[in-house]
Structure 1
Amino acid sequence: MTETPHSREWYAHLARELGGYRHPWRRVLDGPDPELSFDALLMEHLSPTSRVLEAGCGHGPDAARFGSRCARWAAYDRSPELLALARQNAPHAEFAEWDGKSEVPLALRGPFDLIVSRRGPTGVIDHLPAVAAPGAHFLYVGPTLDVPQVPQRLGRIGWDILGEWRASVRAWAPTWEDWQLRCEFMGEVARSEDWDAGATSRGLPYREERSVVLAGPP
């Protein structure tokens, strides 16, 4: 892709070429997917009466998977191309276009019992006091072992971190092309000398890392 990673044009390209916000490279994991802890916590906090707000919903995979388990699933994204796919994939959910920076749109004002973000924007944390119901929880999973802006933002609004989980699993990019796609997606530089020095018959090993944070008001 020629677009700048994570630009509006880049997200539109993913929607058009991959049918959503998907990892474009092939990978093989040597252990459980490190996002499983996020899935387990999300399921634990869902009930038939739950009202959920999802930040950065992409093409709506979580809305499609979990939305029918709760009373309301509302979500937003800044990409109209991804939102169009989300509305097709999860017709039972509510979707709004928003960048998370301006005032909360009326359609997203809740209140919500659970606010979630799967590798999505952390800016939603600044709006938690405006959208959260009493006793609400915020659940986030990030793409590295440490996402410092999450505890920083939570501290600014006075919310407590109730739990933190970090997982790191060895993964393999089977081909140089897969490694290039992975680095491009992550905003990193793919260097051929790294591939030549580290690749085996399985490909190049790297780490799939995730940090999960569960937070709530004091």
Structure 2
Amino acid sequence: MSDLPHSRAWYARLGREQSVYAHPWRRVLSGPDPEETFDGLLAALLTPQAQVLEAGCGHGPDAARFGARAARWVAYDFVPEWVAAAQANAPHAEVHLWDGRGEVPAPLRGPFDLIVSRRGPTSVIRHLPALAAPDARFLYVGPRLDVPQVPAELEAAGWQVLGEWRASVLAHAPTRADWQRRCEWMDEPGRVAEWDWQARAAGLPYREERYTVLAAPA
């Protein structure tokens, strides 16, 4: 039996099979990348004095792209292969192995001015009171129009939502194999058969969706 998508065993296997944490299907977007909202907010929040913590850093693309704009960029992931890749891709960053469970390790305790998670673990939210500076911000982007546990967990942690952005962009999966990979990744196996009756010359149309949230201590 295959591992459940996004289970710990699934991520462990993915780390062994993929050197990067990235969607394994090809897609053709008909508009702006829906994660550009997250990119713009992250760029605007960074300052030369900022202390940043990234939850679920994967192979380190954000640490490599944005880390030099901050005074300190600390990141963690629980997949050893991606931690090693992040250390190589972003040598200026501090990258640690942690699964988000139990007590926060000493190197991750901060306080941090900005905590970010790009399609990463929402478990970091419960640790925000121990991680964040008094005027800190939390920035997250998730893979659907709604990630209901995020506002609920923020409220439970004593944080308030400052802004929410939802983006939906028409996309095409160019081949059946790409569509199947996407359905497997999104844990939607029942949608694979849609290819047989919805596919067109450009592939199968679907929506790339993102939910972005910015929060602060209440």
TM-score by length of 2: 0.95
Query: Per-residue deviation at 1:204?
Result: 0.4
8 Å contact from structure 1 (residues 165, 212) kept in 2: yes
Structure 1 residue 105 corresponds to structure 2 residue 116:
no
Q: Cα offset for 1:118?
A: 0.3
2:189 alignment partner, SS class: coil
Give the number of aligned pairs.
Answer: 218
**Does 2:202 align with 1:188?**
no
Indicate the residue corresponding to 1:57 in structure 2: 57
Separation (CA, whole Å) in 2 of partners of 1:192 and 1:73: 40
Which AA in structure 1 matches 2:208?
E
Residues 61 and 86 of structure 2 are in contact (CA less than 8 Å); yes or no, is this contact kept in structure 1? yes
- Write out aligned runs for 1:87-98 (5 A): 87-98=87-98
RMSD (Å) for aligned C-alpha atoms: 1.5
CA contact (8 A) 2:145 2:166 kept: yes
Normalising by structure 1, we get a TM-score of 0.95
What whole-Å deviation, never above 9, does each CA across 1:53-92 have from its counterpart, x for those lacking one? 0000011100010011100000111111111111111111
Q: Is the 8 A contact 1:11 1:82 kept in 2?
A: no
Paired residue for 1:120? 120
Cα distance, 1:123–1:9 mapped onto 2, change above 3 Å: closer
> Which letter maps to 2:68?
S
1:83–1:95 CA contact under 8 A, matched in 2: yes
Task: State the alpha-carbon separation in 1 of the partners of residues 90 and 50 from structure 2.
Answer: 17
CA separation of 1:130 and 1:202: change in aligned 2, threshold 3 A:
same
- Alignment partners' CA distance in 2, 1:204 and 1:111: 46
Identity, % of aligned pairs?
A: 67
Letter in 1 for 2:82: L
Residue 8 of structure 1, CA deviation: 4.0
Shift of 1:206: 0.6
Report if aligned partners of 2:144, 2:210 keep a CA contact under 8 Å in 1.
yes
Alpha-carbon distance, 1:215 to partner: 0.2
Instruction: Establish whether residue 170 from structure 1 lines up as the match of residue 176 from structure 2.
Output: no
Once residues 132 and 115 of structure 2 are traced to their aligned partners in structure 1, the CA distance between those partners, rounded to angstroms, is 8
Offset of 1:4 from its aligned partner? Answer: 3.7
Query: Counterpart of 1:71?
Result: 71
Q: Which runs of 5+ in 1 are unaligned?
A: none
The verdict on how the C-alpha distance between 1:192 and 1:52 changes in structure 2, with shifts beyond 3 A counting, is: closer
Question: Runs of 4 or more off by more than 4 Å in structure 1?
Answer: none
- Please name the residue that 2:21 is paired with: 21
